[in-house]
Chains A and B, each alone.
Chain A
């Protein structure tokens, strides 16, 4: 290790001039936008179904939750098979309908979509359990009152359940945002951040800078950016939790 030398804000100035940094930050934004709303909507839907008296409910609930306990590396191994050109399941399904083979993970246009789909699959069941707990704490009188008023299920959901689930939604939203910065394990198997950084995310970029390019100083600078982002989210989360306490 070389002796440290104070360089002022030089490392931060380097950030501004690093096109990959901005690209990676943009990717993170797209990854977040792609995964968060869909996985939250699915989680809510799953919870509503599993909370109802659905036939084979326990089995359905277990199926939704199972991806949560699998390591991201194993998940990537399973999904890599779907995305592989020609021999992959996705291409084989496409071939049945006459679509041409596609290099799903090898092209900048499709790679992010593939990662987003996999992450939604991994996360939705986890978020479901928070909604499930919230649904079970709703007083049953609400449902009875709505029934007496002759409200439809649809109306009841939008006017009663959905607003009452709002604190849970905010909570899940923050957690999902934190996750979108934290989940990078799958990149090691699926894309290594490629092609041409099209699927690179901030934490993976930090790993590359530190352990492939051996630029520890710049990696530390990038870490500070990530910490700043997460600290902001943490403050938001903390205030939400405070608020939730007052609701009850």
Chain B
């Protein structure tokens, strides 16, 4: 039984709602500006005419279609590589005894503490040496052997009872078969949480893609949006709002549909 619930004062309820409104208002305002003619962007008249012209303009002013394709390729490429690499590495750390395992895992933990953003200078030099500057692969490569993914899957695999593995082995399953038929299916919630975090992170990531790309063919949405939205570009507010909304829409819709899952995954990623 919750005891204090009945007594949550009206004033506090009002304050909570006001804060919620404040928190949502920048986004609400962007929606308002994007769907109204630029001249009416600051006249909050509920009857003013709606328009999609701002979206059309944004779409033609900047190669958004290309940016979308780049971001989707980037996010898919990173996630697929992460899933394969982290599964194999996590499995090895969880279930095999090999020379230098603890040292190798220690190095993974060190990487967990250092975000790749910090190493933009060093990573740029590495990518330049590999000839991967201004390629989508170059944006994704530093993130593929994700320490967080390896750590998370190792922890999950360790909680799976060994009896299940032994039973599968008795049935004649190979080690990779055990991984594929026993461990991976049982770790499905972890995979889902990890995928959500990875996709949101890379959909939103900016600094490293900015550094490593310099053409329309490789730039992801965030970098395109930054060029488009910079004050020097001289594009008006309504169009910038429309562009911003287009860029965040896929993730925003996904969040609205799967709120609980998003919050849980973000929390798991925060705690590690």
Q: Which residues in A have some Cβ–Cβ distance to B below 8 Å?
A: 42, 45-46, 49-50, 52-56, 58-82, 87, 89, 92, 121, 125-126, 129-130, 133, 140, 143-144, 146-147, 153, 156, 171, 175, 182, 184-185, 188-189, 203, 206-207, 210-211, 216, 219-220, 223, 226-227, 230-231, 234, 237-238
Contact = CB atoms under 8 A, between A and B. Distances in A.
Interface in B6-32: 7-8, 12-13, 16-17, 19-21, 23-24, 26-27, 29-30
B266 interface: yes
B3 A74 contact: no
Interface string B79-122: 00000000000000000000000000000000001110111111
B206 A185 contact: yes
B12, B23, B115: residue with the most chain A Cβ atoms closer than 10 Å? B23
The B interface is mostly helix, strand or loop, or mixed, namely helix
Interface size bucket, B side?
Answer: 35 or more
A147 B42 contact: no
Given A69-B200, A77-B244, A60 B255 contact: no
Contact of B29 (A81, A140, A143): A81
A107 to B, nearest CB: 16
B203 A71 contact: yes
A101 to B, nearest CB: 15
A77 B222 CA distance: 11
A72 B42 contact: no
A223 B266 contact: no
A245 B52 CA distance: 54
A69, A74, A143: residue with the most chain B Cβ atoms closer than 10 Å? A74
A27 B29 CA distance: 30
B263 A65 contact: yes
B203 to A, nearest CB: 7
A83 to B, nearest CB: 11
A66 B24 contact: yes
Nearest to A156: B4
Give me the 8 closest cross-chain CB pairs, A-B, nearest first.
A71-B204, A234-B113, A63-B20, A53-B5, A49-B16, A77-B229, A147-B3, A60-B20
A78 B206 contact: no
5 contacts: A71-B248, A77-B244, A153-B7, A182-B117, A230-B114
A63 B124 CA distance: 38
B261 to A, nearest CB: 12
Contact of A92 (B42, B122, B200): B42
A59 B226 CA distance: 30
A88 B216 CA distance: 31
B266 A129 contact: yes
A114 to B, nearest CB: 13
B263 A140 contact: no
B270 interface: yes
B143 interface: no
B211 interface: yes
A64 B21 CA distance: 9
B72 to A, nearest CB: 15
Contacts of B207: 184-185, 203, 207
B240 interface: yes
A48 to B, nearest CB: 9
Nearest to A172: B270
A184 B117 CA distance: 10
Contact of B12 (A49, A66, A70): A49
Contacts of A63: 20-21, 23-24
A78 B24 contact: no
B152 interface: no
Contacts of B24: 63, 66
A207 B120 contact: yes
Interface string B144-163: 00000000000000000000
Given A53-B8, A81-B237, A188-B226, 17 more contacts: A61-B259, A64-B20, A66-B24, A71-B225, A74-B247, A75-B26, A78-B26, A78-B29, A82-B26, A147-B3, A182-B115, A188-B206, A189-B226, A216-B125, A231-B113, A231-B114, A238-B113
